[in-house]
Amino acid sequence: MTKRIRNRLIIILAFTLLSVYQFAGFPPSLKNLRKNIHLGLDLQGGVQLVLRVKTSDAIRAETDQTIESLRAQFQKENIPFKDLTRTQDNRFTVTGVDPSKASAFLKIMTDVHPEWDVSSTASDAYAVQLKPQQEATFRQQSVDQAISTISNRINALGVTEPTIQRRGRNDEILIQFPGVSDPAHVESIIQSTALLELKIVEGLGSFPSETSALQQYGGVLPAGLQIIASVEHSADGSQTYYVVHTSGGITGRDLKNAYVSRDPNNGRPAISFSLNAEGAQKFGNITEQNVGKLLAIILDNRIQSAPQLHERITDQGQITGNFTQKDAEDLALKLRSGALPASMEVEERTFVGATLGADSIRAGITASLVALAAVLVFVLFYYKASGINATIAMFLNLVVLLGAMAAMGATLTLPGIAGVILTIGVGIDSNVLIFERIREEMRTGKNAASAVLTSFNRVFITLVDTHLAALISATFLFLFGTGAVKGFAVTLVIGLVSNMFTAVFVSRTLFEIVLARKEASESISI
């Protein structure tokens, strides 16, 4: 054995051992294999959701908040104004500002709200727009916040190995829960915005319909008031409505904690919450000013209950209603994990049952084995001893492929298994290309050694071309694909690269070993 062959064999052995270690661990075991090769959702079963965050919700909330803050500042600085109105998600108008106070107003805007562009539309009116860059930042932040809120909720639910990440377009979130069998429950927990608002009710009671509520005000709702539906039902079972003050309330942002408690009146499950220092102060002021009125506890724009305020409340409150123990637990969890900054829309929802996943694994393995067997039988029959070369090269190819997948933490999906099968095909393709060339060279009268040498040198160029062309399309597939298809592209790319190694380097070394043992004039079995 020449030194060159020995060195090559060492490299091959090192690669093989490294690959086996990567996917099977040490000592190699099936348990390690299961741990190291991540199965895609389509194989192990579970739920996948793609949610689109409606980031415009967050922008609208930001605009509303700025309006509220301005209203307070105008009052503090004694700036008279007629109206503050949101005109679009990211715009609002200020009208009736006393021209003498114009500079004071502009100063507030530059000092306190520098993220807004102000333009004057009349001597006493202004159009205010969120700076585009700021808007983009807010949108990004709302997605980030949504991701962190969802993570909190999912972790609290105890789902194992969830995946939560941004996907594709910036406002999309991909969530995967392996092994979850009740998609509806998980989804309801994730999706509820859990926006808690505490607002003062105007008047002292509820209305049976929106129209009857409007009638109180001659059909037109005055500014600063809104009608919100309640989950409470009147005696005849119909829905009830309350008129509440739009502003001056507090929101879930001020929430510190939430936990399940009991309604002291009837012992039913309820949710108690506490507020942070800032929220407690605000809440204290509001409740003090409105003792005797009703306080609407609003969750996701539905009034849960509207108890009467008997005294000033600072940092504690309780939400009572018709909750079951599970409802109360879920709600407390959602409130604790924070409100979502924006509502979300389901764009994709995939559920794979465990049975289907197991079926897919079984089918994938069967197909792989059949493909492998068919190819091996043919190659060994057609190329005789050289077929053994091809067989070794092909098995090494699979070993390296699995090793690389484990090392990269790539996910094996059902299409990925198809990728593995195709890799078998492509690997054999390379070997056939080389073998046919060797036969051809030998036909022209070359001896075996020189035929092998010429063929490998010549075919190497072809292989580079074919593999690079295939890599180009596999790369675009990777860029385009999502989920299972991406898994397929990954296997394909790794398979192409490892095949370059096995078909050229490994197969050639094997030929050289055979040739080294023969006289120069002897032929080889091909």
Partner 1 sequence: MIELFKGIKVDWIGKRQIFFGISILLLVIGMISLIQKGKFQYGVDFRGGTTMKVQFKNPAPNIDLIRQALEKGGATHSQIQQLGDPIEGKFQIEYGESEKEAEATQGQAVITKALDTAFGGKYENLGSEYVGPSVGGDLRQQAVMATLYALGGILVYIAFRFEWIYGAAAVFAVFHDTLVTLGIFSLFNKEINLTVIAALLTLVGYSVNDTIVVFDRVRENLKIRRRDDLESILNDSINQTLSRTILTSGLTFLTVLALFLFGGEIINNFAFAMVIGIVVGTYSSIAVASPLVLIYTKLRGQGSAPSPTAVKMPRTAKAR
What residues from 324 to 363 belong to the interface with partner 1 (CB under 8 A)? 345-353, 355-356, 359-360, 362-363
Q: Is position 378 an interface residue for partner 1 (rule: CB under 8 A)?
A: yes
Stretch 140-169 residues interacting with partner 1 (CB under 8 A): none
Q: Which stretch binds partner 1 (CB under 8 A): 14-22, 73-81, 195-203, 464-472?
A: 464-472
Residue pair 156/72 in contact by the 8 Å Cβ criterion: no
Q: Is position 458 an interface residue for partner 1 (rule: CB under 8 A)?
A: yes
Q: Is position 108 an interface residue for partner 1 (rule: CB under 8 A)?
A: no
Nearer to partner 1, 94 or 434 (CB): 434
Q: Which stretch binds partner 1 (CB under 8 A): 194-202, 212-220, 307-315, 449-457?
A: 449-457
Nearer to partner 1, 244 or 504 (CB): 504
Q: Is position 453 an interface residue for partner 1 (rule: CB under 8 A)?
A: yes
Nearer to partner 1, 240 or 413 (CB): 413
Q: How far apart are CA 145 and CA 129, in angstroms?
A: 23
Nearer to partner 1, 89 or 172 (CB): 172
DSSP 126-156: EEEEE-HHHHHHHHHHHHHHHHHHHHHHHHH
Interstrand relation of 46-53 and 344-352 (parallel, antiparallel or unpaired): antiparallel
Q: Is position 370 an interface residue for partner 1 (rule: CB under 8 A)?
A: yes
Q: Is position 439 an interface residue for partner 1 (rule: CB under 8 A)?
A: yes
Number of residues this chain uses to bind partner 1 (CB under 8 A): 78
Q: Mask of contacts with partner 1, 229-258, x by CB under 8 A?
A: ------------------------------
Long-range CB contact pairs, 93-101, < 8 A, 24+: 93/121, 93/125, 93/126, 93/127, 93/128, 94/70, 94/125, 94/126, 94/128, 95/124, 95/125, 95/126, 96/124, 96/125, 97/124, 97/125, 97/126, 98/124, 99/123, 99/124
Instruction: Select from 164, 399, 412, 492 the one that contacts partner 1 (CB under 8 A).
Output: 492
Q: Which stretch binds partner 1 (CB under 8 A): 234-242, 246-254, 398-406, 425-433?
A: 425-433
Q: Is position 189 an interface residue for partner 1 (rule: CB under 8 A)?
A: no
Q: Is position 495 an interface residue for partner 1 (rule: CB under 8 A)?
A: no
Q: Mask of contacts with partner 1, 258-297, x by CB under 8 A?
A: ----------------------------------------
User: Rounded to the nearest 5°, which phi and psi values hold at 524?
Assistant: -115, 160
Residue pair 321/270 in contact by the 8 Å Cβ criterion: yes
Which tokens sit at 487? 């898994």
Q: Is position 429 an interface residue for partner 1 (rule: CB under 8 A)?
A: yes
Nearer to partner 1, 77 or 359 (CB): 359
**Closest approach of partner 1 to the CB of residue 9, in Å:** 15
Nearer to partner 1, 363 or 408 (CB): 363
Q: ∠214-220-224 over CA atoms, to 5°?
A: 95
Stretch 380-419 residues interacting with partner 1 (CB under 8 A): 381-382, 414-415, 417-418
Nearer to partner 1, 108 or 414 (CB): 414
Which tokens sit at 166? 């941004």
**Closest approach of partner 1 to the CB of residue 49, in Å:** 9
* Alpha-carbon torsion (503, 504, 509, 511), positive or negative: positive
Stretch 38-97 residues interacting with partner 1 (CB under 8 A): 42, 50, 52
Q: How far apart are CA 486 and CA 475, in angstroms?
A: 10
**Closest approach of partner 1 to the CB of residue 204, in Å:** 36
Separation in Å, CA 488 to CA 305, 338, 422, 495, 497: 52, 37, 10, 10, 14
Q: Is position 2 an interface residue for partner 1 (rule: CB under 8 A)?
A: no
Q: How far apart are CA 127 and CA 112, in angstroms?
A: 17
Nearest-CA neighbor of 92 among 100, 102, 84? 84
Instruction: Select from 30, 220, 461, 520 the one that contacts partner 1 (CB under 8 A).
Output: 461
**Closest approach of partner 1 to the CB of residue 405, in Å:** 17
Cis peptide before 341, with omega less than 30 degrees from 0?
A: no
Residue pair 240/208 in contact by the 8 Å Cβ criterion: yes
Nearest-CA neighbor of 274 among 241, 232, 317? 317
Q: How far apart are CA 199 and CA 295, in angstroms?
A: 6
**Closest approach of partner 1 to the CB of residue 355, in Å:** 6
HEC sequence for 284-330: HHHHHHCCCCEEEEEECCEEEECCECCCCCCCEEEECCCCCHHHHHH
Nearer to partner 1, 33 or 367 (CB): 367
Q: Is position 501 an interface residue for partner 1 (rule: CB under 8 A)?
A: no
Nearer to partner 1, 240 or 343 (CB): 343
**Closest approach of partner 1 to the CB of residue 375, in Å:** 5
Q: How far apart are CA 88 and CA 366, in angstroms?
A: 58
User: Rounded to the nearest 5°, which phi and psi values hold at 206?
Assistant: -100, 165
Separation in Å, CA 12 to CA 6, 170, 501: 10, 44, 9
C-alpha dihedral, 90 to 91 to 92 to 94, nearest 10° = 140
Exposed, middle or buried, 75 (CB in 10 Å: 0-12/13-18/19+)? exposed
Q: Is position 446 an interface residue for partner 1 (rule: CB under 8 A)?
A: no
Stretch 467-486 residues interacting with partner 1 (CB under 8 A): 468-477, 479-482, 484-485
**Closest approach of partner 1 to the CB of residue 487, in Å:** 10
Q: Is position 11 an interface residue for partner 1 (rule: CB under 8 A)?
A: no
Nearer to partner 1, 190 or 255 (CB): 190
